[in-house]
Chain A
Amino acid sequence: DQDQLTHDEL
């Protein structure tokens, strides 16, 4: 699940 592993939050 690549999307989940791009942490786009702080």
Chain B
Amino acid sequence: MNIFRFAADLLHVFAIATLLLKIWNTRSCAGISGKSQILFGLVYVTRYLDLFTTYVSLYNSVMKVFFVVTSAVAIFLIYVQYKKTYEHDLDLFRIELLLLPCAMLSLVINHEDIVLEVLWTFSTYLESVAIIPQLFMVKKSGGIEKFMIRYLIAFGSYRAIYLINWAYRYIMESHYDLIAIFAGILQTIIYILGFFLLRGVKVVVSDKEEEP
């Protein structure tokens, strides 16, 4: 564990907390892509199956459980609790366009042909593109709320800082994982492209957000 990894993980937690608190406080999931949240749910579930097979540290296990649980909560809030506020007519990206290539690529390019490893690889590829439905939803709606800007910046910087962590680990520990590095670079590029795609989108303030 180094400072880059810890800082990145904190940003990851901050991003998720931003999203959940927004839904909770405004009792609305307007502007949030349920499809991206489903993809993130899949990412965490397929990656953290090693909770049952490998123990790394208490920190590691607690964070994994946190990501799986909060992701399930987000999906529950969007599709059950605050279903009426979910803007499904704006959340139109077809997730099979992301799921199928990631599934195929993880079967072809992985570290080892065993189920857990292929699922970990799938999860790593999928995470790099999971934000795309959210970016398209914002683009389609033409407006973005401030919480979503914070969410995207925090989520984008989390993986970018992981890139620094990987460079650091390569230098200090001669440790590297090409699949993680490749996907991390792709993920960071997608967030940067996303910010270009969204420039010109109007920053809106929702009525409910202004309530104390």
A interface residue numbers (CB < 8 A to B): 1, 3-10
Contact = CB atoms under 8 A, between A and B. Distances in A.
A10 B63 contact: yes
A6 B44 CA distance: 16
Contacts of B162: 9
Q: Interface on chain B toward A: helix, strand, loop, or mixed SS? A: helix
B12 interface: yes
Interface residues of B, number: 20
B120 interface: yes
B148 to A, nearest CB: 23
Interface in B87-121: 111-112, 117, 120
B25 interface: no
Interface string B41-84: 00000010010001010001001100100000000000000000
A8 B56 CA distance: 6
Contacts of A9: 5, 162, 165, 180
Given A4-B111, A5-B117, A10 B67 contact: yes
B128 to A, nearest CB: 15
B60 A3 contact: no
B180 A5 contact: no
Contact of B12 (A4, A7, A10): A10
A4 to B, nearest CB: 6
B112 A5 contact: yes
Given A7-B177, A9-B162, 12 more contacts: A3-B175, A5-B111, A5-B117, A6-B56, A8-B56, A8-B60, A9-B5, A9-B165, A9-B180, A10-B9, A10-B12, A10-B60
B64 A10 contact: yes
Interface in B152-209: 162, 165, 175, 177, 180
